[in-house]
Amino acid sequence: MTDDDLKAELESVNSKHQGRRTTREDIAYLTDLLKCANKKLIWEKQLASVQKRTPVILETVSRLMNDPQIPADEQLRTEMLRSLQAIQATMERLQSVKSD
């Protein structure tokens, strides 16, 4: 699930429950809103977990790539560098989504 998915689901809930007239309809709307909020909370916890683990993983990969006991060939180094840059870019995008 992405932030866009959560926003779309919230828009769907708001659209579905337009024109509420009864207490029962209000309760259904609030129940659906609570479900969206729970999904968002789970998503935020997963995001925080990934952000917390990523620096440790990147450090470990970097240490392994620079280990003189296990020299990596140039092709592997290039691929790993590309992968690490992609991970860094993804983490930056996640951080910008989180701060929106």
Low pLDDT (below 70) residues in the chain:
97-100
- Those residues whose C-beta lies under 8 Å from the C-beta of residue 28, and which sit 6 or more positions away, are 17
Report pLDDT for 6. Answer: 87
What global pTM score does this model have?
0.67
Distance between CA atoms of 28 and 7, rounded to whole angstroms? 19
Residue written as token pair 């970097």: 62
Q: What confidence score (pLDDT) does residue 8 get?
A: 93
Find out whether 80 and 61 touch, Cβ atoms under 8 Å.
yes
